[in-house]
Amino acid sequence: MAAGHHRPVIGVTGPDRGGLAAWWFTRLALWRAGATAVRITPGRPQPLQGLDGLVIGGGADIDPALYGDASSLPQSSLKQQERNLARWLLSLLLFPLIYLARRILSTMTHPPGGDPDRDRLETALLREALQHGLPVLGICRGAQLLNVVCGGSLHRDLADFYVEAPQLRTIWPEKLICIEAGTRLAAILDCSACRVNSLHSHAVNALAPELRFAAREPNGVVQAIEHRRLPFAIGVQWHPEYLPQRHEQQNLFRALAKQARVCMAS
């Protein structure tokens, strides 16, 4: 990073089309944390050199071939779809500003076939960042990619986990998660449990050897992972950028910026 800059520069990945709401909310969160955000997409790539940290953002599903799963994905039941619709409507009423921002700034839905160009870009950036010890925050898809790049796999269908309680899909913090004691995430969030939002359909399955569990739902679904050795390589399954009013969620971006300043100084 060039001399004279006092704010660390953190790359934030996203798709070529859509994803603008996540980008602007992430940019705001990083600005509040004292960092400067730079958007990275397949059409506008950015080398890791010159960056002090990396956020792998949410978005389209990761290509199953990257973790050795070529099976077809079962369709969700009509009952589950009705539950998801009800939760979506509730979120619309409770959190209208963020919902409207996502709708206005999104130009397309995630393609069912995934985003292979983004897979390639983020895989290369993530591997290089981990190799050089740059701080990394993976959000939703980014948490899943962190596990895949380090050698783990994903659940592509979570229906079996939500037999007694519905699978939430909401931008409002309704999902209860339990933080693993002694993890970096526990120190950052400064709590043993909290409520988060939920916009994902996949989740971590087999955990990569270099990683450890950092948070789960009561039913066992993994909600956060972190690197065992590196000072800051954390993946969260929820979207902290859409929870600007929650102090513990802003702490994630503060911790990322703090570690990025360490990298900037070195």
pLDDT in tens, 186-212: 999 999 999 999 988 889 999 999 999
Cα 132 from chain centroid (whole Å): 21
- What is the Cα–Cα distance from 254 to 52, expressed in whole angstroms? 14
Q: Is residue 1's pLDDT more than 50?
A: no
In the numeric block, which tokens belong to residue 177? Answer: 């998660």
pLDDT of residue 108: 46
pLDDT of residue 57: 96
pLDDT of residue 201: 80
pLDDT in tens, 63-120: 889 988 655 444 444 444 445 555 555 555 556 666 566 555 554 445 556 799 999 9
- What is the Cα–Cα distance from 195 to 62, expressed in whole angstroms? 25
pLDDT band at 6 (very low <50, low <70, confident <90, very high): confident
- Higher-pLDDT residue of 199 and 160 is 199
pLDDT of residue 158: 73
**Nearest CA to 124 among 22, 40, 209?**
40
pLDDT of residue 259: 97
Structural domains in the chain, sorted by start: 9-65+89-265 (3.40.50.880)
Active-site residue set: 140, 239, 241
116-136 mean pLDDT: 97
CB atoms within 10 A of CB 206: 13
pLDDT of residue 113: 60
